[in-house]
Each structure stands twice: as C-alpha cells, then as structure tokens.
Structure 1
C-alpha cells in the first residue's frame, strides 16, 4: 500500500461522493496503490450511508463510525491506527482541500525524505475577519512557542511517513499541533508546501470562534508538555523550592525579630510577614507534591483510547 488517505468528517454527505471520485481520478492517473479511510465523527445526516454505499462499489474505501461526536483529534487517531500505507495523507471532507496536491506531497515524503509535509493555504477563501486574521495570530504564536517554522499549522492537508503517525498520539484537541507532536517525538525534517484552497461548496463550517480560544489553550498545553512533559518535577520542584526558601527567610526574619529586636510582647501573628511565610511554605509543599505526583503518573501511564467505534467497514 503506497498511500492511505485519512478523512475525518461531520455531516458532509453532499461532498463525499464527489470527493471520492476526485481522489480516485488523481490516484488512478498516477497508478497509486491506495486506500481511503473515512471517519464519521458522529454525523447526524446520511454521511455513513454514503460511505457504506461507496465501500460496496469501491474496495479501496474503508469507513469508521463513532457513536457520537468526539472531535477531529480522536477521528484522526482512529484513522492513523488503521492506516497501512507507506505515506499517510490527511485532508478535510468539505472539498476545500485539493486532491491534485497528493502526488507532489507523496513525492516530497518518499523522494525528499521529509518526515512530515504540511500544506499552506497561502491564498484563502475564508472571511478575513472571522478566520484569516485570527489564524495568522494563532500561527505566529505557535511558531514562537514551538520552534516549528510553519505558516499554517491548522491546514488539514498533510502528508506523513507511516512511522510518524504510528509513533505520535493525537488526543484532546491536539490535531492542530501534529507537527509539534512529531518534532517532540524526534521527527525533525518537517516541510511545508503551498496548496490550493477551495471555496466551500456544500454546507457550513463546523468550527466556530471558540476554536481559537481552545487553540491557544492547547498551545499552552503543548508548550508545557514539550518543555516539562517528561520531567514535571523540574518545573514544580523548582517553584516549590523557591516558595519554600521565601517562606523560610520570612520565618527566620520573624524569629530573629521576636527574640532579639522587638521583645515587647507583640504576637508574631500580628505581623503581615507571618502570613507571607505561611502561604509561601504551603504553596511550596503543594508544588513539590504536584511534581512528585506528576512523576508517578508519568511512570504509570498507559495508552488508552478515548473514543468508541460503533461501526467499521
């Protein structure tokens, strides 16, 4: 199997048949041995029936149906688990990604030896205020915090070596940061290709403005995990030690002041420094405990799925 195409979708029944025919035309003209894996992320329309109909007519089509909507990350994770191609490509099901880009993406991975090639929708047909400007801000922040120099982290059209998608684990809302996950896993040859962006032909976008809020929160998470994910004690222990030192110094000051300077009988609890020392020591102890718990969880963590498959064809 040369190519596996993983396509997550939610309520895209109008576009699925046209998308498959477009993909099949490109793949057959290039004599690729391929499979198309549709992941129905809890659609409420006839998307699954369309996938089942395509599968009956075309053996290269495979389908996975979730019991409910789990999100794009879980859909991609399920598709990656079942992909068998030498190169794995992902694309959206709304016809905004152009299958004509597939041969060049495949060649970049196989001939140029890239671990991952991400599409860059340099010219977009989305609303400039609703999507373009927030996307530029988001991509700028992602570049600065991750060190991965991509212009479009969230482009759905990407190509991977099979080893990459079998190594990383895409959970939560981390599909936006797959290049960062790949870099953290040791796959450093990451490229980018300008791809054609199509105007949406059917339906409406499934992502609202809240995706940018979640995106920035996920960016903080991925930054923390990349810096301290394998050594949480280095962060929590350092801050815990700092807070304990601050608390100890204030307590030492209070003790010296009480014994040798102000011996007029004034209670230590009447001094504001007492509460600073107490708070700092409590926080320091809690941070140390958080670091220890993080290390214990890290060493006992086991891989687990966070989605349920209803059907598979």
Structure 2
C-alpha cells in the first residue's frame, strides 16, 4: 500500500487509565479492519495517570497504523472523540470504547450498513444486546427510555460506543460535553439518516467502569434539554446562489 493511497477508515478510541486493555484491543481492531484497508487507528489518551501511554507506545512498535494523541489533562469522552476525529485522515470514522466491552469485530458490519445507505445516511449506530448484569441493564433502560421519549431519536441504545459516521457530518454537529450520547438525534437534525445494527456486549478486559446511573441520566438531563431546544429551533437552510459578475 502506498502512503498516498486514500484511507477508507479511521478508528478513534478514547481511553483514560486503560493500560491493561491496550494490547489486546489494538490487536483485535487490526484483525477486524483487515478487509477495510487502508485504515488507521487513533488512540486518544485523555490524561491517563497509569501506564496507558507506555502501553500505546509499545503497541505502536508492531502496529504501524496506530497513532497516539494525548491530552495534557482529562477533558472527557466527547473531547477525546473530537480530538481524534479532527486529526483523522479518512472520510469515515469508527468509534469504540477502550475497555474491551465493544467488540471491534462488528466494525465491518457497521461500515457496510453506512455505505449501503448512501450519502444521505450519516451514522450507523451499534445497539447492544446481551448486556451483562441486571443493574447495568436497568440503568441503561431508564436512561435510554427517558431520552427516547424526549428526543424521539428512534434509537434504543445511544450509549453504545460502537458507531460509524461520516467525518463531515460529525464536524457539522454542535460540539458540547456528552455529544457522543446524543449523536442519533443530532445527525437526524442535520437531515441525515441513521441506521442501526445489533452488537454483542461483553465484559471489560480489566478494570472497573467509570460511569454509573448518575452519569447516564441525571447529569445528562441539562444536555438533553439543550439538544431538545436545538431540534426545536432547527430551520431548513435556504439555498444560496451568487449571480455571475455583471449579471
């Protein structure tokens, strides 16, 4: 593959203190994306304080398509995703969480769904099935139920980190903290379609979850109100043309 060959896919993985999950997931991503070459993977280290950076540097030695972006301090998951997308070189972006719960084996199916939809489909959203733990399923059901009733985004599970979208569509969205949780509603607001594919949830490789009920629902209520306002205020943009000089 020539260095000038256009990339088909950029995979963006936000991480914070996930040193024990780097090597296995990087290898899985490479295997899953082999048929989508040429691709690149951007790990965005969101101010980790463990051995995440060292693990990424080690992985980069055997995976030349791996790029490392580092925040000087933690900015949150949406900020990490945005940093990766801004530096991505492919027109199509995949995202997934860095803890191993999102199986990258589903990336080709999501890529296919996005491509089959044509230019008017902006997002292929994964929706988790087989989630482990009764309490975790309850949390997601409550959070997604409240969001669905208010935003009417026709998406069962916006919290799934597995997403594929067109880079230009993402960059047209209003940026704010927790943007990644409201992408189906905002992509639809921009006039693009959203397609869904079921993906299998699996346990973390190592470590503990950083989010709980408070993060999924109560902290997001203000953001949800803001997204609702944005949807209500959306107006079709007029088509602008410029007369020829002297016309």
Q: Taking structure 2 as the reference length, what is the TM-score of the superposition? A: 0.86
1:97 pairs, out of 73, 93, 102, with 102
Determine if the alignment matches structure 1 residue 208 to structure 2 residue 212: yes
Query: Structure 1 residue 151 and structure 2 residue 153: aligned?
Result: no
Pair 1:119 & 2:129 matched: no
Once the two structures are superposed, the pairs formed by residues 135-150 of structure 1 within 5 Å of their partners are: 135-150=140-155
Between the two proteins, the alignment pairs up a number of residues equal to 226
Q: TM-score, normalised by structure 1?
A: 0.68
Question: SS at 2:93's partner residue?
Answer: strand
Equivalence for 1:3 = 9
Gaps of 5+ in 1: 231-313
What is the 5 A alignment of 1:1-313?
Answer: 1-28=7-34, 30=35, 32-113=37-118, 114-125=121-132, 127-129=133-135, 131-187=136-192, 189-211=193-215, 212-228=217-233
Q: Which runs of 5+ in 2 are unaligned?
A: 1-6, 236-247
Quick check: which one's helix share is greater? 1
Greater per-residue strand proportion: 2
Cα deviation code 1:66-116 (max 9, x no counterpart): 111111111111111111223211000111111110111111111232321
Task: Compute the RMSD of aligned alpha carbons.
Answer: 1.7
Q: Which of structure 1's runs of 4+ aligned residues deviate more than 3 A?
A: none
Q: CA deviation at 1:32?
A: 1.9
Q: Is the 8 A contact 2:139 2:213 kept in 1?
A: no
How much has 1:216 moved relative to structure 2? Answer: 2.4
Q: 1:57 to 1:150 in 2, by over 3 A?
A: same
CA distance in 2, matches of 1:174, 1:163: 15
Is the 8 Å Cα contact of residues 76 and 170 (structure 1) preserved in structure 2?
no
